[in-house]
Structure 1
Amino acid sequence: MISIKGNKMFWGIPFIGWLILVAVTIACKENPSHDVFEFPDQVSYNLHVRPILSENCFTCHGPDANKREAGLRLDVASEAYAVLKDSPGKHAIVPGSSTESLVFNRMISLDPEEKMPPPSSNLQLSDHQVNIIKKWIDEGAVYEPHWAFVSPKKTPLPKVKNKGWAKNEIDYFVLSKMEAKGLSPSVMADDLSLMRRIYFDLIGLPPSPEVLDELQENGLKPEAVIDRLFQSASYGEKMAVAWMDVARYADSHGYQDDYYRTQWPWRDWVIHAFNKNMPYDQFITWQLAGDLLPNAGKEQLLATGFNRNHKITEESGAIDEEYRVMYAIDRTNTLGKAMLGVTLECAQCHDHKYDPISQKEYFQTYAFFNTIAEWGIEEKNPGFSKKSPAKYPLMEISNKDVEELLQFINMPDSAARVNRLMAGMTKGTNYNSLLDEANVLKVAVMGELDSTRNTYILERGAYDAHGEKVEPGLPASILPFPDSLPKNRLGLAKWLFDKENPLPARVFVNRIWQELFGVGIVDTPGDFGLQGNLPTNQELLDWLAVDFIEHGWNIQYLLKKIMLSSTYQQSSIVRKEHLMLDPENKYLARFPRLRLKAEEIRDLILASSGLLNMEIGGPSVKTYQPAGLWEAATSGRGNLSKFQLDTGKYLYRRGLYTFIKRTVPPPSMMLFDASNRDACEVERLKTSTPLQALVMMNDPVVLEASRVFASQLLKEDPNPEKGIGYAFYSIIGRKPDEIESKILGNHLTSFLGEYREDRAKAKRIIEVGKYPIMDDLPVAKLAALAQVITLIYNMEASITKA
């Protein structure tokens, strides 16, 4: 992006940032301050020992019986203390005596035949790690249950020195960690920065200059602003973005032929559920088992589309049962990652190598999803034939349903929808059924078989290798599945939200924290198991989880609690001592500077320019992308084989509604780390590449928006210099200072001179995009101001939440 004050262009961060980064790296090497080098006064199994054993020992001496060597298991105290089968009279671990513990002796052995881990594993313990193990054994080798598998409890607020800083309970926990590390909090963010932060976090859109002026005139009251934004329909859209990644929502089936699918009414329901502040336990229960609820209606049934969002094949050469099994496995793995935060998928082919989850327990969980009335292979033209089997079970939504029951669904007019669906149709399409589809939507949902389908352990995970027959159940290490619950998806949901279940509240609270601060309290949001990272502040995570449950799983309550804390309202200005003591900002002595998500970058550009179509819900839209991309990257078959750009207002919809074809996802969004929706994702990658700068400088969305914004400004005032300040305020959320104004003014002068001499070049600049051009404006002025606005969009500050 661009550092405007230095008037230089760099990819990722300004040049001075690189200098700071290098200095910090050198300082950290000279004065290591990472926790791994700190020797604890008292060694904890969970904090210090288990990570060492998990990384170096559990592959051969952990939960997986199939891979266990010498009959030795080190993750369970009773087995680690027991007499060794291969060495009578000896013990792997003797509590209180490292010299008598064979594990320790093998760790320090110089004999390559005896040494553990063996040299062939390419693993080697450091002296620090060996000393940790020694001290732990000498102190009694006390095992502790894994923190995430123990129900969270609220602990008393920790004592802090700077009590005046804390606004609520969150701040006590954060400040306690800060003070322990020798850190102090940052000052509070200025009003404009805080308002922009709150707006992006709650509705994913920038506040307009008029809104910012109003808030400043009336005095900034964050709580009132938060409450007002909760009432905005845009709140549900913002919250839905992350849930689409979790739910692997897409507009095509995936695989080679990649046909169109009509699941967007489910997305409309998600927006609606967030806007009505549906409690999280109900939100998940409806999606897992809405069809099994007593007196379930069409809304509850529609919610279960969550578990039909997975990829579906329509290739006639595929094996039906193989793909049906794949669908059930996808749902099982999604449950593990999205709701439990554990890597269930690691137990599909064998017992989990690290977590106490057996292969049998994996397929007991899988059994809840193995009784769906579905087929594995989709037939041609899915969604346009009433006989397509893999779409079943499905529900039909008519105009009458929308008028009477499902008013939150944005049912577009039939003719316009048919025109869009017809784009790219292959020869032989049944247009009568297409017209029927335009008036009656068909959405894939959940539904049970009339008869029972047996579930077996699948040996090595192969679909046709049936082993032991199993009944529905769940991992006992998390929470045993009680006999009193029904052995169906509704019983699964009840188990999930049992007050003793240690994971669901922690996992969701952690993801909300991640949405606001960029990184969760557990920075492995999909893995709370033994291989996942420890929380940076477990007491805070547990307090928030319990508080969330106590307040009825209220998502808006949770957001508001965090956003009203001093922790959230800090400035993002980086101080030297912060970089030295906490370069990764783990302890939040400042607010992190975060690049906006791909969808939010698009929304910022469209909203600030006045182009944004604020319509809520409805079908996805195809926006600008390189010509020929779909045609070159796919089989050439199917009703999405050819790309047809949407037109009119549909071109300017929010990023949430961008059409996602799984085999060729939208390139500009993918370059900014959006998900291709192949599988459940609970965390997006964070990359910084030159291609991102090229997108911001060349994407038709950016250039078109700049031209339209410039047209509006020149229409109001023919002096282009007058419009620069307003454009800056709209995009960045503050007014430019004197240096910035001078630099932008100089660029305007330079562009004006260039385009007055080369009118053809100026004309090419303003012809980008489909939005009508204002012919009555001077071409050179319009092109020059548009280029300056593009420059502002390319500033680092424009696409950063700070």
Structure 2
Amino acid sequence: MHFTRLISRSVSLRLAVSLCLAVSFCLAVFCLPASANEQQDQQIEFFERKIRPVLVQHCYECHSGDSDVIQGGLRLDHPDAMVRGGDNGAAVMPGEPEKSLLLAAIRYEEMEMPPDGKLSEAVAQDFEKWIALGAADPRANDSLPQSNPASDIDWDQARAFWSFQEPIKHQPPSAKATDWAAGKIDAFVLHRLESAGIAPNAAADRQTLIRRVTFDLTGLPPTPRDVERFLSDDSPTSYQRLIERLLSDPRRAERWSRMWLDVVRYAEDQAHIVGGNDSLTYPNAYRYRDWVISALAGDMPFDQFIKLQLAADLIVPDDQDAHLALGLLGLGPKYYRRNDPTVMADEWEDRIDTVSRGLIGLTVACARCHDHKFDPIPTSDYYALAGVFAGTEMFNRPINDTVEKQTGKKKKGEAKKPQDAVHIVREGKPTDIAIQIRGDATNKGPLVERTFLTVLSKQPIPLSNGSGRGDLANAIADRKNPLTARVIVNRIWMQLMGAPLVATPSNFGKFGSRPTHPQLLDDLSVRFMENDWSLKWLQREIVLSSTYRQSSDIDPAKAAIDPENTLRWRMNRRRLSAEGYRDALLAVAGRMETSIGGVSIEPDTKDSRRRTLYSKISRLGLNPLLARFDFPDPNAHSAKRHETTTPLQKLFLLNSPFLIAQSTALSDRIPITSQSHQSAIQTAYQTLYARQPTRQEITLGENYLLDGSQQAWPQYLQALLISNEMFMID
């Protein structure tokens, strides 16, 4: 349903009412929550990383079944026992942190637990978040042993799991409607559809298709001229030529850089800053962002893209520009009390989590305090990787030779001020570290040599050359690594198709989802590597498929068989991200500044004209526009975006000076006179939606504009800009 059909046919109805109705409708339609299974998986992962380790380290001694005396009658080693509580009542009230005695005790508000010292407010906030989200706790189903030492793991059996097997190419399966399949992707999809008794949707109309693929590849809407040129070209290769033009567009690299920056939790400061102390900020972080844009614009092979971000200083030691890639590690969370064992252990965990979930789709950080509860990752493997980062130093590299440097023993060669530096990493002292019992940095276990994950190594792969970063980079980017290609192929597929093949893009372990089309994923991954790990090749392969070109129309009969569209019988209708929507506003208003790269901007000021990619990203205080429209938390790796509906979104759309500035600029770009209402309305629809308005839509617009007020035209355009259709890709 188009937005203007919601406007009352009564000319006397005020625009404010129309806007409210429009916003309520569009937000209700396109802001669909993450599935219950996804939310549960995320909450359990949060428990494993943030809650269970604290309970084990600080609470189990007095409050578990293994305690000599269960203090206060309270056990904290089982979810039912926590809710049942002890002498003072329930310790945890799921969904109600203010009523949960455990949280009050952690904050020393009533009782004081643990008694040997108050835990940090950051820990308390983790517990508050966990309880507020429902206190998800997988321990009720723990039939696994509490310890899973490497010697007890049957590694042959562990490596038999689907994601630990090397992907192989597959012959296209047989299908009946062979004329529909444009390539191998379609053959795999069609086989599954026909097996379920479903026919694929017809192709989307050409107007829909050019808007879809232009947004998908460049993050921007097509211009009316682009649409006219494509619609008037009836040659059989017109779509292929459109794809090549879009793949060559410099703006493609900007659109796809944002996906990668989510993965590596890009930010320019820290969540905790004391007063005006800027020592932990990264004013020149944008230089890493510019490196990513440049690498993607040049279609750098993805394996090389990974290697440089982990070890550019070791791979190309004399290429200072390439060293900007080390921002993946250097721009992570950094804490005060440098060199404190607990602080450094927390930083190592961040690096391990970002690298493992982001690059190989495994939740290795869950093994910091105990052997992984689901995957064959013993604690020894975690600390084998931690040793790599323990031997790596954070480094404020001067941006030029004139910068004042420090000369202290550990600061030699560093810039004194963060404003004069790029924050990257360099080699420190090669270090093997000891297992930290229950994650306690002061409770040391046996020393662990630096090696790659055992389950991914038929023979131990040592990470012993210097810090081990170069060896780690090679191990991750090795073609024999069964995960790396699969993970990035799945991420690209998710961006283009609206849903991933593996529903948990950063968890390919046993607790993650299984692929909906395993042979398709494997075949595409192998061919991606064979084509020089080219992301441009991969994007082309997907958007040229008949699967991608399907309409998003919902057929009730097909939906009854496959309501979640897991078999891909239609294209998924998608909501634009915060960046996509804001960039579209700038583009249609003719106000976008098109220069590539450079310093960060504030995206919500009315005079801001740069693409949203260039927004300043703060861990301490994320820009309100970004936060309001579901930008991910930059404190941690983000697997995918989630969508919410809030009153503040509606208020922003109605009142934002930025949005009003775009509607005013658009009204100047598309002038209107008393004799040109119809022509102006048609131009507006072509510019915003890549289509002609219906006769009814023209009539509704003309009726509204009859009052002739000076503000009627920009207000009408604002209504179109905040419409359902403007937010969505069909």
Q: Specify the alignment match of 1:282 in structure 2.
A: 304
Letter in 1 for 2:704: H
Residues 1:443 and 2:422 are matched in the alignment? yes
CA distance in 2, matches of 1:583, 1:300: 47
Q: Given that residues 713 and 720 in structure 1 are in contact (C-alpha distance below 8 angstroms), is that contact kept between their aligned partners in structure 2?
A: no
Residues 1:347 and 2:367 are matched in the alignment? yes
Q: Given that residues 393 and 446 in structure 1 are in contact (C-alpha distance below 8 angstroms), is that contact kept between their aligned partners in structure 2?
A: no
Residues 1:478 and 2:456 are matched in the alignment? yes
Report matched runs for 1:422-437 at 5 Å. Answer: 437=419
CA distance in 2, matches of 1:389, 1:306: 26
How far off is 1:498 after superposition?
A: 2.2
Residues 1:800 and 2:714 are matched in the alignment? no
Q: Given that residues 342 and 526 in structure 1 are in contact (C-alpha distance below 8 angstroms), is that contact kept between their aligned partners in structure 2?
A: yes
- 2:178 aligns with one of 139, 160, 163: 163
- Structure 1 unmatched runs, 5+: 26-33, 35-54, 60-65, 71-119, 126-141, 397-429, 625-644, 757-779
CA distance in 1, matches of 2:159, 2:322: 42
Letter in 1 for 2:211: R
Residues 1:521 and 2:501 are matched in the alignment? yes
Q: Specify the alignment match of 1:622 in structure 2.
A: 602
Q: Specify the alignment match of 1:498 in structure 2.
A: 478
Aligned-residue Cα RMSD (Å) equals: 3.5
Report matched runs for 1:151-550 at 5 Å. Answer: 151-219=166-234, 221-257=238-274, 259=278, 260-261=281-282, 262-313=284-335, 315=336, 320-374=340-394, 386-387=405-406, 437=419, 441-449=420-428, 451-480=429-458, 482=460, 486-487=464-465, 488-550=468-530
1:746-798 residue CA offsets vs partner (Å, 9 max, x unmatched): 23235x4xxx4xxxxxxxxxxxxxxxxxxxxxxx1xx2111111111121111
Assess, with a 3 A threshold, how the Cα gap between structure 1 residues 608 and 384 changes in structure 2: closer, same or farther.
farther
CA distance in 2, matches of 1:217, 1:539: 38
How far off is 1:715 after superposition?
A: 7.6
Q: Given that residues 279 and 553 in structure 1 are in contact (C-alpha distance below 8 angstroms), is that contact kept between their aligned partners in structure 2?
A: yes
CA distance in 2, matches of 1:517, 1:688: 23
SS at match of 1:741: helix
Q: Given that residues 405 and 414 in structure 2 are in contact (C-alpha distance below 8 angstroms), is that contact kept between their aligned partners in structure 1?
A: no
SS at match of 1:691: helix
CA distance in 2, matches of 1:670, 1:270: 23
Letter in 1 for 2:705: L
Q: Given that residues 437 and 445 in structure 2 are in contact (C-alpha distance below 8 angstroms), is that contact kept between their aligned partners in structure 1?
A: yes
SS at match of 1:557: helix
1:619-669 residue CA offsets vs partner (Å, 9 max, x unmatched): 101233xxxxxxxxxxxxxxxxxxxx6x96xx1111101112212111222
SS at match of 1:445: strand
CA distance in 2, matches of 1:143, 1:321: 33
How far off is 1:573 after superposition?
A: 1.4
Q: Specify the alignment match of 1:409 in structure 2.
A: none
SS at match of 1:218: coil
Report matched runs for 1:73-88 at 5 Å. Answer: none
Q: Given that residues 324 and 424 in structure 2 are in contact (C-alpha distance below 8 angstroms), is that contact kept between their aligned partners in structure 1?
A: yes
CA distance in 1, matches of 2:248, 2:407: 41
Q: Specify the alignment match of 1:786 in structure 2.
A: 714
How far off is 1:187 after superposition?
A: 0.7
Q: Given that residues 392 and 444 in structure 1 are in contact (C-alpha distance below 8 angstroms), is that contact kept between their aligned partners in structure 2?
A: no
CA distance in 1, matches of 2:539, 2:706: 46
Q: Given that residues 254 and 312 in structure 1 are in contact (C-alpha distance below 8 angstroms), is that contact kept between their aligned partners in structure 2?
A: no
With the length of structure 2 as denominator, give the TM-score of the two structures: 0.75
- 1:671 aligns with one of 613, 624, 628: 628
Residues 1:696 and 2:653 are matched in the alignment? yes
CA distance in 1, matches of 2:171, 2:719: 51
Letter in 2 for 1:276: G
How far off is 1:386 after superposition?
A: 4.2
With the length of structure 1 as denominator, give the TM-score of the two structures: 0.69
Letter in 2 for 1:356: P
Assess, with a 3 A threshold, how the Cα gap between structure 1 residues 278 and 794 changes in structure 2: closer, same or farther.
same
CA distance in 2, matches of 1:729, 1:388: 61
CA distance in 1, matches of 2:297, 2:159: 42
1:532-555 residue CA offsets vs partner (Å, 9 max, x unmatched): 011111111011111111111111
CA distance in 2, matches of 1:390, 1:172: 62
Q: Which deviates more from structure 2 when the two are superposed, residues 660-669 or residues 562-571?
A: 660-669
Q: Given that residues 714 and 720 in structure 1 are in contact (C-alpha distance below 8 angstroms), is that contact kept between their aligned partners in structure 2?
A: no
Give the % identical residues.
31
How far off is 1:329 after superposition?
A: 1.8
Assess, with a 3 A threshold, how the Cα gap between structure 1 residues 15 and 453 changes in structure 2: closer, same or farther.
closer
Assess, with a 3 A threshold, how the Cα gap between structure 1 residues 171 and 617 changes in structure 2: closer, same or farther.
same
Assess, with a 3 A threshold, how the Cα gap between structure 1 residues 456 and 747 changes in structure 2: closer, same or farther.
farther
SS at match of 1:519: coil
How far off is 1:582 after superposition?
A: 1.5
Q: Given that residues 479 and 500 in structure 1 are in contact (C-alpha distance below 8 angstroms), is that contact kept between their aligned partners in structure 2?
A: no
SS at match of 1:163: coil
Q: Given that residues 160 and 176 in structure 1 are in contact (C-alpha distance below 8 angstroms), is that contact kept between their aligned partners in structure 2?
A: yes
CA distance in 1, matches of 2:205, 2:320: 47
CA distance in 2, matches of 1:296, 1:465: 41
Letter in 2 for 1:726: T
SS at match of 2:510: coil
1:39-78 residue CA offsets vs partner (Å, 9 max, x unmatched): xxxxxxxxxxxxxxxx9xxx9xxxxxx99x99xxxxxxxx
Assess, with a 3 A threshold, how the Cα gap between structure 1 residues 349 and 232 changes in structure 2: closer, same or farther.
same
Q: Specify the alignment match of 2:610 in structure 1.
A: 653
Assess, with a 3 A threshold, how the Cα gap between structure 1 residues 329 and 16 changes in structure 2: closer, same or farther.
closer
CA distance in 2, matches of 1:342, 1:238: 26
- Structure 2 unmatched runs, 5+: 8-17, 38-47, 53-59, 67-137, 144-156
Q: Given that residues 362 and 507 in structure 2 are in contact (C-alpha distance below 8 angstroms), is that contact kept between their aligned partners in structure 1?
A: yes
- 1:686 aligns with one of 629, 643, 646: 643
Assess, with a 3 A threshold, how the Cα gap between structure 1 residues 189 and 352 changes in structure 2: closer, same or farther.
same
Residues 1:610 and 2:627 are matched in the alignment? no
How far off is 1:278 after superposition?
A: 0.2
SS at match of 1:298: coil
Q: Given that residues 167 and 566 in structure 1 are in contact (C-alpha distance below 8 angstroms), is that contact kept between their aligned partners in structure 2?
A: yes
Q: Given that residues 167 and 526 in structure 2 are in contact (C-alpha distance below 8 angstroms), is that contact kept between their aligned partners in structure 1?
A: yes
How far off is 1:741 after superposition?
A: 1.6
CA distance in 2, matches of 1:193, 1:394: 55
CA distance in 2, matches of 1:199, 1:535: 27
How far off is 1:482 after superposition?
A: 4.4
How far off is 1:4 after superposition?
A: 2.8
Asked which structure has the greater CA Rg, the reply is 1
Letter in 2 for 1:742: T
Assess, with a 3 A threshold, how the Cα gap between structure 1 residues 177 and 607 changes in structure 2: closer, same or farther.
same
Residues 1:708 and 2:665 are matched in the alignment? yes
How far off is 1:672 after superposition?
A: 1.7
